[in-house]
């Protein structure tokens, strides 16, 4: 599965506009929605610090040449080279996953009543199993860890464990190891830190509440048995800036995968799709090419098709997905007070949230 290209982040770091937080409906369809970040500045900085400490070796040297090499390979769609060695993977995560983790955490928190309901915890194990397709670079992992801890403490809910499985075609093992280590370890404080600061010092999430693993797969060419083992008991599945790349690789294979996903997931499972606003894919029908919005293709597959044979109306069968949140253009803007070794960028995304019926 081709990892996502960093072409969706095109806006440099700017002070956030003075706007009121927009009220979302269950199926919000706002235009260029801009929300004041809902995660505290302190927690946002902690998230960035996890990336800073995880990739300190990269920041100790001039990171720009490596960044330029990666950008060139991504521009040429040479994903095998762009994600073929650890120094590229670490540099990519340090540059693009850091700001994405902030945007994802803000999104997860805002959608917590839909994305993170208490009933999504498996009744037998007391855990959530979240499969992040295309999530090897670690942004989803760190964002989920931060929100899991917030919900336990701020919402005064029982402590629960979270299993995060990153599925990617590249070997992100070392990147995920470093991010997990620093997410579950309290930051190192100055020896001059006050007693109050030392007492409040804590990791992003307790080590006992998080389990992380990587599975290497080309998701479009993975057999049904492997998919069932990987996804069968998942409570959540995410496709963050990944689905449009899958469509770019093969629309038929992507449609087939989404139908397999539908048949595998249990009732109540959550599917979150985030991608660049205005993403289009080209389909050839009867020899003629036509572009369709990614959102249309996604809804057509999940909400209309049944086992790839016609529509719900034609087949007279029960719907298999409920679309519970929809936003065609959501912004996340970085707070200018945040500190990071390199410049980061604001983030704009389309968001689609589904629940398996």
Span 178-214, pLDDT tens digits: 999 999 999 887 788 888 888 888 899 999 999 999 9
Query: What pLDDT does 35 receive?
Result: 58
* Interatomic CA distance for residues 83 and 78, integer angstroms: 9
Q: 197: how many CB neighbours lie within 10 A of its CB?
A: 11
Query: What pLDDT does 8 receive?
Result: 35
What's the gap between Cα 212 and its chain centre?
A: 15
Query: What pLDDT does 196 receive?
Result: 81
Q: Which residue numbers in the chain have pLDDT < 70?
A: 1-37, 118-126, 154-159, 282, 284-287, 305-317
Non-local (6+) Cβ contacts of 186 within 8 A are: 201, 202, 203
Query: What pLDDT does 42 receive?
Result: 93
The pair of three-digit structure tokens given for residue 265, joined into one six-digit string: 């997931």
Domains and CATH numbers, the chain: 27-356 (3.40.50.150)
Question: What are the φ/ψ torsions at residue 24 (nearest 5 degrees)?
Answer: -95, 145
């Amino acid at each position: 599965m081709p990892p996502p290209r960093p072409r969706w982040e095109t806006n440099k770091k700017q002070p956030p506009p003075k706007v009121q937080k927009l009220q979302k409906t269950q199926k919000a369809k706002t235009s260029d929605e801009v929300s004041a970040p809902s995660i505290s500045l302190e927690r946002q900085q902690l998230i960035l610090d996890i990336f800073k400490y995880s990739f300190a070796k990269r920041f100790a040297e001039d990171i720009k040449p490596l960044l330029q090499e990666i950008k060139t390979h991504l521009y040429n769609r040479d994903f095998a080279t762009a994600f073929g060695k650890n120094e590229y993977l670490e540099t990519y995560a340090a540059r693009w996953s850091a700001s994405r983790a902030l945007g994802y955490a803000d999104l997860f928190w805002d959608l917590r009543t839909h994305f993170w309901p208490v009933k999504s915890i498996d009744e037998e194990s007391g855990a959530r199993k979240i499969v992040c397709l295309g999530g090897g670079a670690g942004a989803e992992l760190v964002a989920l860890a931060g929100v899991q801890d917030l919900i336990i403490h701020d919402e005064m809910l029982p402590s629960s464990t979270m299993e995060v499985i990153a599925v990617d075609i590249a070997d992100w093992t070392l990147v995920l190891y470093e991010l997990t280590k620093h997410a579950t370890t309290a930051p190192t404080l100055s020896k001059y830190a006050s007693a109050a600061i030392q007492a409040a010092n804590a990791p992003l999430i307790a080590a006992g509440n998080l389990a992380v693993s990587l599975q290497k797969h080309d998701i479009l060419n993975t057999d049904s048995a492997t998919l069932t083992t990987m996804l069968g008991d998942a409570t959540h599945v995410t496709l963050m800036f990944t689905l449009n790349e899958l469509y770019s690789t093969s629309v038929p294979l992507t449609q087939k995968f989404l139908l397999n996903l539908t048949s595998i997931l249990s009732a109540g499972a959550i599917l979150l799709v985030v991608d660049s606003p205005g993403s289009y894919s080209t389909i050839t029908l009867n020899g003629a090419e036509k572009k369709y919005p990614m959102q249309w293709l996604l809804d057509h597959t999940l909400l209309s098709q049944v086992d790839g044979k016609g529509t719900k109306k034609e087949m007279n069968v029960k719907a298999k997905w409920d679309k519970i949140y929809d936003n065609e253009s959501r912004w996340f803007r970085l707070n200018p007070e945040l500190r990071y070794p390199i410049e980061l960028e604001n983030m704009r995304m389309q968001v689609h949230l589904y629940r398996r019926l």
